Structure 1
Amino acid sequence: MSASAVFLMLLAMVVVWGGLILSVLAVRAHPERTDFPPGGEDDLREDDAPLEHDT
């Protein structure tokens, strides 16, 4: 392999693995959202539930 091919391969590896490492660190810093906007409660009605359509 030529020197330019090796350089581009190493550059691509640094970009891919660097992105993976940065994304893992970002998830570790902010693992899960704890505050959600109000609303969106579950509908626990069995008999009078909203219609569900197959799309």
Structure 2
Amino acid sequence: MSADAIVMMAVAMLVLWGGLAAAIVNIVRFRGVEPSESMRDL
């Protein structure tokens, strides 16, 4: 593999794992009020 391909792969992995980590942190730190009842029709 060329150096460019390795760099692009590393950047893509950082973006994916960074986004996942940010989503998990956002969910864990959420301190809002939970809705008592959802009106969605599932």
On whether the aligned pair clears a TM of 0.5, the verdict is yes
Larger Rg over CA atoms = 1
Residues 7, 22 of structure 1: alpha-carbon distance in 2 compared, 3 angstrom cutoff? same
Distance 1:18 1:11 in 2: 10
Q: Which residue of 2 aligns with 1:34?
A: 33
TM-score normalized with structure 1 length:
0.57
What letter corresponds to residue 34 of structure 1 in structure 2? V
Contiguous gaps of at least 5 residues in structure 1: 41-55
Larger RCO, structure (CA 8 Å, separation 6 or more)? 1
RMSD: 2.4
- Residue 4 (structure 1) aligns with: 4
Runs of at least 5 residues in structure 2 that lack an aligned partner in the other structure: 38-42
Aligned ranges for residues 38-49 of structure 1 at < 5 Å?
Answer: none
Identity %: 33
